Structure 1
Amino acid sequence: MELNNHIWEWSLQLPKWQNDLIRRLYQKSVLDSEELKEVIDNILYENGFTDKNFNITPLEESHIPNKNPKDVVKITSLKNLQHIAAIDSEYGIQFSPDGLTVIYGENSAGKSSYAKVLKQACRAVDEKTKIYPNIYKSGTATSTADIYTQQNGSENIIKRIVNTAPESQLTSISIFDTDCARVYAQSENEVVFIPTEFKIFDVLATLQTEIRHRLLLSKEALLKTMPTFNELTSSSKVENFINSITYQTKDKDVRGNCIFTKEDQTRLEQISSDLKVLSHSNPLKVAQELQRNISDITNLKNTLQNINQELSNGKVKDFIFLNQRYLDSKATLEALTHEAFEEQPLNEVGSNPWKKLWQTAKQYHEIAYPQHAFPNVENDAKCLLCQQDLKEDARIRLTRFEEFMNDSISQETRQLHEERRQLLSKFKLLPFTKVTDSSVRTYLYIDSPELDMKIELFIQSAVKIVAQLQSVENDIRIELEDVPLLESFPIKELDDWLQVKCIELEHLKSLVQQDNSAELKAEQYELISKEQVFKRIEDVYNLIKTLQQVDKFDKAIKSLDTTKLTRKYNELSNSLLTDKFKEEIENELKQLRREHILFKLNSRGVKGKTTLKLSLESSTKININEILSEGEQKVLSLAFFLAEISSMHSNGGIILDDPVSSLDHSRRDYVAKRLIVEAKRRQVIIFTHDIVFLHTLQKYAKLYEVNASYCSIRRHGQRAGIAKPEMPWITLSTSKRIGYLKNELPKLKKQESQLDPDIYYRNAKTWYMLLRESWERAVEELLLNGVVERFDSAVQTQRLNKIKFTDEIVQLVNEGMTKSSTYVHDESHAIGRIIPSNDEMIEDLNNLEYFSKLFK
């Protein structure tokens, strides 16, 4: 069973987390919650969870317990137990480094607390042993103990902190206790045994299974948080994509399938509009109405363009300049007129009414004197208005008037006035009302209120401009800055709007022709689904992230599979569990008398456990627990344990805690003898509460001349673990009982003079009761030479030839028993017996001692 090198070489090939876990289990087989979390974090980190802490300490060869060291370590004492159960720290236990040490204690005496400290310190793989301080005292002090050892002649003290990793220097010591004694009923007709050095595999597999279960729970919890898309009720491309998402899905795949673009939004709106038209309207009628609106808006646009053109900044500027020229020319003309007509008989000559009269007369002249130039001032000429002959001064006046009217200033003024009048007329005729009262404006306002508002602002500004320009009719001078600015004409917006509507019209016409409602509804659902998913795009990425974590969990869970462990363990068990070891087990089973149960022995690994199996050779399949009693199961466990230590190359010590509970007397006897045999070549420490087993050990230790020491553990009230070399009275030989009774006599002598006689009498009666029991033990041990003893199951007939039996001996026994019985039994008050003195008690004890010397 040289397993160390194999485990070391195998561990170097393992993942770091598993290598670290083996180290932890060797140092402390039961991991606390924090340590278990570190292990789980290591596993998750190695499988891609980079947010987890990574806490790895590699396994070293020295961590692996060595059951076969060159120099065997022996425990010499266990002392200074602090905060361990109710153990009194004043006491401790001494162990014989060679041979046998038996620690006897009744239940609740504290024996198990001493045993637990050693078991926990020595056992490399221990799942159960947990040590607690005194539960009846408050406080959180650390529990400690000092273990004194001896190795190759040198002494050492291990300052142990309990509930920590086993002590590496003590791993050569083997432990047998209730946990070891369990025989695992693996299945029908099979009993399982796990050799000590293979238990690391069992613990490793068990813990990996537990971690695997925890990771499965974590994975299930993670799956519950995974986003779902229940709103996708029917099959669509995006739903198919969502359903196909794995931990390998790339960002580009998400963008390609789940991004809802502006073009998608426009298309969805178009489809929704188309379906609305197809479902709730007459497409042809809608197309015709749209055609009319397009035509009306086009006309409106042309009207607005005309207004914009006529009220352009250049034309307004030209008009203002024309008005200024006209007013300047008019002022000049007025000055000239005043000068020309200053001395005329009538006022306002040269004014506008006068000019009109002049023009009318000029027109009449063409009728009256068509062959003469205007004005006709010849001698026979008549006045065109009064038909009288013209006098000289009238001829001169008419000629002067015509010269004035033909002057360039006068003509320019007339021309500018006419141009201004025409422009003003044109301004007044601009179609503002046509724009403001257009019915298509309502449609435009509903369809594009912003565009309609721009048109309204444009018209309002145009009206204000025209009103300002019309004020020049009163021949007032205005400046360009006095005229409001013309709002921007939204020609581009109108063109864009018309273009969109024309496209829409063509689309409507195609709808009328195709009527593809089914295809549109399918496309609409695709786009709606895509829009719904896009609104939850973060959930899509979270889904991928969750699946990536699930994949990492799967890898971590897969790494915890015990199949490879089982395969490796089978390989090691086949090569290391030799036939010699199996023969040792067969021999032990034979010695423990299990012949009535037929077994066959085989070894194999199951779920990470490397085991030896005893298969019941029976035609009927039945549960082992229904066949084997508790005692028989313990017999099997003892056989395994004894075979295991026998196959080791070293003589490492063994510690056994109550090894024979549930065993019958014959098997108890064999175990005692077997352990005494082991004590001849190794240190053996036994904890027991079985007085018969203790007696049997004493008997065989004496018989095989094995060095043996004994210790008893007692409880005094609340103080437990009081260890003394004196064994209980019931186990003492005659000579030791005589010694004990001698030691009690000085105490009784003192009590005789100082205590109340009644109290002294009771103590004296107790002393005589022990004296009587000593005579009885002397009869078994000395007179009968141990042929028959109360704790021995056998009658030793071979001892009969050494029995001494004389009248003197019989008389001594009768007298001794009679005297001691006198004070033990209840008596009548009428007797009035005197209380024995200390001298009398010494004499009675001397009689027993004289009796014992007769047999030496």
Structure 2
Amino acid sequence: EKENKSSDIKLIESNSQKIKTLYAKLETLKKTIDDIVLRSQSAVSTYLTKEEAAKLRLSELEILKNIPERNSQEWLQFIKSGKAYKSLLTEEAEICPYCRQDLKNDALAIVHGYASFLANSAQTEFDTASTVVKNLLQELTQITVQIEISTDIIPKLSEKNEEDQKSLKEIFDEIIVDVTEKKDSLKTCLEKKTKIKIEDFSIEVEGLITELKNIETEFNESLKSLKSSDSERQEAVKGINEIIADLEDKKVISKKKDIIKKYFKDEEIMGTMDYVASTINTTPLSVLCGKATDELVTEDFRNNFIKELKELEKEHLPVEIPKGSVRKGKNKTRKQIKGHELKAILSEGEQKAVALALFLAEISKDANSSPLILDDPVNSLDHQVIDVLAKKLIQISSERQTIIFTHNKLFYDSLVHWASNLKNEQNQRTHHLCKNYNGGCNANGSHVYSFKIERISLLETGKVISKSQESSKFYLEKIEKDLQGDYTPSSIASDLKSTIEYYIDEKILNNQRLIKDYGNKQSIKWDQLKKLNPDEMVIDKLKEYWDLLSSRGSHLSANSMENPIPLEKFTEIIDFLKK
């Protein structure tokens, strides 16, 4: 139901926008036609006035009265061409530029008449008016009358009411025909220089525009109603969920009532025991713990510590493990350098390396093979120590189950490297990185599994997926599946950005990670590097999509909320990344 309502909202929003676009185009068309009609009326009127003035001036020149067709455009063009040609010559004015004979008497007088006629401002103004009419005629031919209507709103415009049997679509078609005819009529007026009456070219679109705006209002009201009901539904669901959560809490408390009672009873007993313990003399116990420490922290343990420190490439640190202190029956093992506390001398990274060496020395002699769990053990360590620690933990995983959580890319890459490349004295691989999670694995050696905790949304994290499955294909299949259901644009945008990252690694870098991210430089695939030859157009397109997904998708902003990426754009990006 939620998905259907979301689709209805999108459809109504789209149709409302298309109605608005349609009447905006009608308004623009009317404004364009009204404007050119007004200017054409003025231009033709001016043309006729200037033409009459030019003819009057011509009649005033007595010498030119006997020239045949002197009012024609051909004659006017003839004398203008003669003047232009004469301006190129250098000989005396009394020579005819055409026949090259001397001009005498009447012939000379006619030439002077031509010059007087062309010098007249009435003729110049007439020429200017002619140019204006010509330009308007060209502008008119470039005006497009046809307006395309989206097929999505044609059914709505084709509806008929009881009062008027004509649908809005029919009225629209009639208006377009009327505008076309008036455009042709205006063209004829400009060509023949006939007077133009503005009322003859009036276009009646106000009624249709009003009806279209009414439809837009109707759509917007429906949209408002849908969104309001959806908001009310969400509030109701929220209220019901709160009630359910409260009932679930009561259900859990009811089931664990006896456990809770026992907890408070145990707390009371523990309080009594703590009081009794505080009154006991701990000196004999402290003496006994000190004796046990001397026996446990043996020379063998110290040697193991030094060995682990050396493997972590910190053997240059002269760390001592003196006899620990015992207070109130509790033993503490201290580490120092020539009587000084480590914190006063070593950096944070060196302190962490010493602590890891001590820890590794302890578990190396521990007969108990309980699982080992580490949470980001590489903070403040340099990359050499990180790689050594990764190798050491893979070795330990042969004897006990080892679980490691990390956000450190370099540490993760080192673990993956040693999981696939660690070998024994017989040069046989001791571990392998499992890819067949569900079907099992028959490979020899210890199994190493790699998982990733995926962010579901901005506020939700916790979906566990196989790290080895990650690829551009994996994300594309995931996105296409998500788009079939109730998705959020931000989650799709985030997954598409991950797809682009893997696309770059697979298609452009030939599965090469950046060299600076490698813990072991021997992993560089040199033959693949030779094949790198990226298409600049592909790079530009990837950047365009990346910027779009960042500004209007994965990053929460006013732009992403008010102008989210549409489904069509997501589909376009997916199709590009599939190539």
The bucket for the TM-score relative to the shorter chain is 0.3 to 0.5
Structure having the larger proportion of residues in helix: 2
TM-score w.r.t. the length of structure 2 is 0.40
